[in-house]
Amino acid sequence: MRLGVLDVGSNTVHLLVVDAHPGARPGPLVSHKVVLRLMRYLQPDGSISPEGVQALLDSIGSLAKRAAAEGIDALLPFATSALREAANGPETLELIADKTGVQLQVLTGEEEGRLTFFAVRRWLGWSAGGILLLDIGGGSLEIARGNDEYPDVSVSVPLGAGRSTVGFLHDDPPLPAQMSALKEHARRVLGKATKSFPATQAPQRAVGSSKTIRSLARLAGSTTEIPGIGERTVLRRVDLKDWVPRLAAMNAEARQSLPGITADRTFQIVAGGLVLYEAMRAFDVDELEVSPWALREGIILRYLDALD
């Protein structure tokens, strides 16, 4: 079976085509991505500007045609925080459906955390024990914890890398005062979020997912090869603390020369690194294991489980 997952996020519109069937590991076949940075199109009233809506229509329409050309059996289209929170989100979703034929499923922040946790659990297996998940998107940060396939607690907070950049880091490179303001804001938000997680349920492993975390791990983390299993990549808080100010001292163009920092992430990697560091500090995480599976894989696995 050939499945297409269309992910309409805050930073990109991404089509992933996989070969999959119940009980098997999904195998990626084709990936197409349009860098959108939807946060740039937000107006003072919280709505997406007409230019942003048109960019969405163009991107989704183009990738829907690509999905059809790939001969997929089913398209699983979803959207996250940017459309979920936009003041004109419902009207935009109707327009997308009318103009492109794509009916986007808008996930709540809690659903994002649950499905990403589900994918991470399937990747790591039951032997991983209790898991604390940190997942940074463009608009939100998802935090989830539990011992089973789905988390006991899943919380979404407005600390995405794109949102934090647009809201606080207005200069390139950002000014020290802007960095301090974002750090204080992140600490306030995360301080409230920690109250949803009972201190008596300490997880065995802390895991991070998302492109932002993978980029930071390629830059500042370490990778070891485990025989019969594959690569294990970890990102330590002490190394992240060292790299965040170094990234903040560079402009966006200079960051692209660093390992793992792609053109579509270079503007928001500083905010992503700062938020991740503060999240690790708030939850007393010294080392974060990086999962290659995240929300898109969770969507696929849930679909396959329903078929089975």
Instruction: Give the whole-angstrom CA distance, residue 236 versus residue 258.
Output: 18
pLDDT tens column, 179-215: 999 999 999 999 999 999 987 667 789 999 999 999 9
pLDDT band at residue 277, thresholds of 50, 70 and 90? very high
pLDDT tens column, 283-307: 999 999 999 999 999 999 999 999 9
Q: Partners of 76 in the beta sheet?
A: 5
Exposure on the CB side of residue 281, measured as CA atoms within 13 A: 18
Every domain range in the chain assigned CATH 3.30.420.40: 2-106
3-state secondary structure of 297: helix
Residue 199's pLDDT is: 79
The distance of Cα 27 from the centroid of its chain, to the nearest Å, equals 20
Residue 132's pLDDT is: 97
Residue 273's pLDDT is: 98
Instruction: Give the whole-angstrom CA distance, residue 162 versus residue 268.
Output: 6
pLDDT band at residue 15, thresholds of 50, 70 and 90? very high
Which whole number is the average pLDDT over 236-242? Answer: 97
Every domain range in the chain assigned CATH 3.30.420.150: 125-295
Residue 228's pLDDT is: 59
Assigned CATH for 125-295: 3.30.420.150
- Say whether pLDDT at 229 is over 70: no
Residue 246's pLDDT is: 97
Show Cβ contacts of residue 157 under 8 Å, excluding neighbours closer than 6 positions: 109, 140, 141, 143, 189, 190, 193
The reported pTM is 0.94
Assigned CATH for 2-106: 3.30.420.40
